[in-house]
Chain A
Amino acid sequence: MTNSLNIHHQDTLERYPDTSFPDIRQDTFSKTTLGFWLYLMTDCLLFATLFITYAVLHIETFDGPSGKDLFIMPTAFTETMILLCSSVTCGMAVLAALRNDTYKVIAWLAVAFALGSAFMVMEWIEFNHLVQAGHDWTQSAFLSSFFTLVGTHGLHVSIGLLWMLVLIIQLFCFGIDVMTFRRLVVFSMFWHFLDLVWIFIFTFVYLMGAI
């Protein structure tokens, strides 16, 4: 019995030579990006629960307005396109960083920042209109879940904008080095992720609300 187990163990050792275990990716860059990816995955679950809350509650309008009455489609479409462009320009910043072109990186990040700010301003105006018209989060379960879902995304984008400012200052001071490149890559992951979440908000909240 012991003998056969031993043989079996040796078989596996031979079939999987010792190149990938222990893990070769032990450097700070790999560990940081993997760690941040883990955070993004948990954030994904957070958004998933908010989406489901919205899915369950969006019919409970308490005789108030529904999504069909409130959502302005062209605004939502413009917001989607702006955030997509911001996501791509952030990718361009990483590509410029591959060529060690600090000023191009800062320029692309500045464009991404401007687009992200435009997105936040549009969302802020939209929220303001709703609240001014008396349709705030206290009116119905539908509006509570709507403001929680879209507001959480907006909060993420706002934090991302602040992060981008800090990153621009760091790039300005230190140029492209191991540290700033790592931070830029991690930020780009965050920014692309937020665009990905917005696709689902656009589809499941705005488009489906309009049908």
Chain B
Amino acid sequence: MKPERDYGLVDILDRLLNKGVILSADLIITVAGIPLIGLSLKAALASIETMLDYGMLEAWDRETREWYKRQLLESDPPLAEGEVVLYRTFGYIWYSQGLISSWRPGFWYVTDGRIFLWRREPEEALFEAFLEKIGSIEAGSVTDIGKEREVLDLDVEGRIARIRSSDVSEFEEAIRKALARQGISQPQSWQIRF
């Protein structure tokens, strides 16, 4: 049996848009190709999913699995003495500077003193704000790659941090509680707006 070069256009698009080297550094503009070149092209990539039970074969994906495990288990973020973690969730922050913009993933931590996004590889806090610096919080939604997503906009000293996680209202509740615990009064603009 010989390998065939029976690729379709979609096959090629899939590889060039979803795979290959993407660099992220100040030196380089990294552009997620899909949103830029039109949403219907993304629609052309609607996938045929395989019916494989991945659980049974995950050993094949060792690398991915190990990375995931490391993300989950290792290297907790440095905390101040006595600092208590109140809430933790996987999520993103919207990073936009010049032409570079993307959702950066990590684990969100709400502690009794601050809120921060922790990336474990390499270890770095991608965002950090002390609770008393939080001016307002606003829930809303944005359209991202054709999908409606709930986000939280956090006003930290006049700058807006846009947050995404699997459960935005739960996240908001956690911040609200953390602030209440510190006796910080809830800003007026805390009404949920959609």
Real binding pair: no
**Taking beta carbons and an 8 Å cutoff, which residues of B are in contact with A?**
none
**Taking beta carbons and an 8 Å cutoff, which residues of A are in contact with B?**
none
